[in-house]
Amino acid sequence: MPSSEILLCSEEVALLMVLAQYAFLPVVQTIENEKLRYILLNDDSKQCSEVIAALEAKKLITVDADLPITNVDYGMFQSNVNMRCGSLGLTKQGQEVIDWLVPEEFGIYVK
């Protein structure tokens, strides 16, 4: 059980549930307008970057910008010197939160 109350928005829960299925996801880290930005290979939206940053701040995921996933094509990102190709995954606390999530008919709720 998580040791303290953690508030999650639906987008954060959705990313955690993806990480429950796939232990690691490829991510690209870059600096944009002097602000750190994350890009998932299938979602480069600002909202996705904010979700990753929020989950990392809550210590539910870890971002390893210098540990790319083997056999993943980071494509155009690899040639840009301002981008670091890496991975993100669950922390122990993140796994504990997932263990407490219960799928329900209309969404996911914490026990």
Which of 41, 23, 25, 9 is CA-nearest to residue 94? 23
Q: Contact, 90 vs 16, CB < 8 A? A: yes
* Whether residue 7 has pLDDT greater than 50: yes
Q: Domain residues of the chain, as ranges? A: 10-110
pLDDT at 3: 54
Distance in angstroms (rounded) separating the CA atoms of residues 61 and 20:
11
* Whether residue 110 has pLDDT greater than 80: no
**CA 109 to each of CA 6, 13, 33, 86: distance values in angstroms, whole numbers, following the listed order:** 12, 9, 36, 30
pTM exceeds 0.95: no
pLDDT at 76: 76
pLDDT tens digits for 45-83?
Answer: 888 999 999 999 999 999 998 899 998 888 878 777 778
* Whether residue 88 has pLDDT greater than 80: yes
CATH placement of domain 10-110:
3.30.110.190
